[in-house]
Amino acid sequence: MKLLWVWVVLPFAFAQLVTAFFDFNETELSLIESLEYGVSKINYNPLMVGLTLIHTAGAKGAVCLDGTLPGYHWHRGYGSGANSWLIQLEGGGWCNNIRTCVYRKKTRRGSSTYMEKQIPFTGILSEKAEENPDFFNWNRVKLRYCDGASFTGDSENKGAQLQFRGQRIWLAAMEDLMSKGMRYANQALLSGCSAGGLAAILHCDEFRGLFPRTTRVKCLSDAGLFLDAVDVSGGHTIRSLYSGVVGLQGVQHNLPRICTNHLDPTSCFFPQNVINHIRTPLFILNAAYDSWQIQSSIAPPSADPHGYWHDCRLNHAKCSASQLRYLQGFRTQMLNAIKGFSMSRENGLFINSCFAHCQSERQDTWFADNSPEIRNKPIAIAVGDWYFDRTAVKVVDCPYPCDKTCHNLVFR
């Protein structure tokens, strides 16, 4: 059965959709991530939460690419969740050279000047128990992403007037939130989607270190398992991208030492080389056929000059048998990358065989009447069961096309 998903795109998202259609390249926002603020018909009247700029950040040099102040959206917790904190790190690709970073600093991904003043809180950020059963009454914070290196860089380019201060933004935001009550947390969860999901992995142990040992602290990475994959031309598109990000933005000093002690910095920006060394309990939520990775890492236009992958890239139903075999190989690579990680009793896993990207922030994929499931368990329940130790959660879907609950992304 094919489900057609109807999207009501909020007015402020429309400009981003247009941008995604016409300005897409491997390093900018893909069309997929511009769906982030789409609100499905399930949640047509979402909670809108205002932007708070971090006024103490400027003095610390913790600024966006263009030098403006960073910010977050915070909805206060109440009742049993008054001292529980969920930090969601925003995603949105990376910039890997002067040209793409200069472009980015004129967008919401590089400057708070262009950020929406209010954004909808849906999925894991929803305030409704029927939409977000375990975290609805927590303090829920969305930290905006305006550095282009997954909150890890610390450098600058004076000539191009670019500030690469992701690590400082991370630290300034945590310090600000600690002063606003997070230091009293009895439980906390660091999460993020896409580039924010990668950031949640890279900052997971730092986040744990903010709190006393008595505080329950865990991390969730949604669509952050970017693989060091070979593209369809035999090249290394994503490794080349990451090498640019790490070199340009001075990321190497802020990567986990346990990795950089024996691998090059670019390798340590790939989560597959980091996840086995993280001491804090971590949950990996990922589509086995991650739409962003298919479009931007495996079969980007630059690796497909004759356009053999053009239709398959936009719609999995148009993939040939040999293309599907290639994508099954990608799934196998993903499962191999998490083998060691999944051995830990404390870690969690939900790898569904969908063509999707970012499933925790959208209401229709997080928790709804027909949201994706593995063994009859939707994502929100899987994450909650793992976080509260109700049951161990390590679920891996059978390969495509067996899962009929997917909300697959199709692009026109």
Q: In this structure, is residue 33 part of a structural domain?
A: no
Q: In this structure, is residue 20 part of a structural domain?
A: no
Q: In this structure, is residue 234 part of a structural domain?
A: yes
For residue 326, what is the domain's CATH number? 3.40.50.1820
Q: pLDDT at residue 73 above 80?
A: yes
Q: Which among 134, 120, 111 has a CA at the least distance from the CA of 75?
A: 120
Q: pLDDT at residue 360 above 80?
A: yes
- How many secondary structure helices (H) and strands (E) does the chain include? 14, 16
Q: What is the pLDDT of residue 39?
A: 47
Which tokens sit at 269? 């920006």
Q: In this structure, is residue 64 part of a structural domain?
A: yes
Query: Model confidence over 53-62: pLDDT tens digits?
Result: 999 999 999 9
Domain, as residue range, for 271? 43-394
Q: In this structure, is residue 367 part of a structural domain?
A: yes
Q: pLDDT at residue 23 above 70?
A: no
Question: Poorest-confidence range of 27-31, 143-147, 318-322, 402-406?
Answer: 27-31
Q: pLDDT at residue 177 above 80?
A: yes
Q: In this structure, is residue 35 part of a structural domain?
A: no
Radius of gyration, CA atoms only, the chain: 20
For residue 169, how many other CB atoms are within 10 A of its CB?
30
Q: pLDDT at residue 11 above 70?
A: no
pLDDT band of residue 44 (cuts 50, 70, 90) is confident
CA–CA–CA angle 216, 218, 220 (5° rounding)? 155
Q: In this structure, is residue 32 part of a structural domain?
A: no
Say what the pTM is. 0.92
Q: pLDDT at residue 22 above 60?
A: no
Active site members: 194, 290, 357
Q: What is the pLDDT of residue 15?
A: 30
What is the domain count for the chain? 1
Decide if 225 contacts 195 (C-beta within 8 A).
no
Query: Model confidence over 95-120: pLDDT tens digits?
Result: 999 999 999 999 999 999 999 999 99
- Kindly report the three-state secondary structure assignment for every residue of 272-330: HHCHHHCCCCEEEEEECCCHHHHHHHHCCHHHCCCCCCHHHHHCHHHCCHHHHHHHHHH
Query: Model confidence over 282-298: pLDDT tens digits?
Result: 999 999 999 999 999 99
Q: In this structure, is residue 12 part of a structural domain?
A: no
Query: Model confidence over 205-236: pLDDT tens digits?
Result: 999 999 999 999 999 999 999 999 999 999 99
Decide if 10 contacts 37 (C-beta within 8 A).
yes
| Calpha distance 315→288 (Å, rounded) | 15
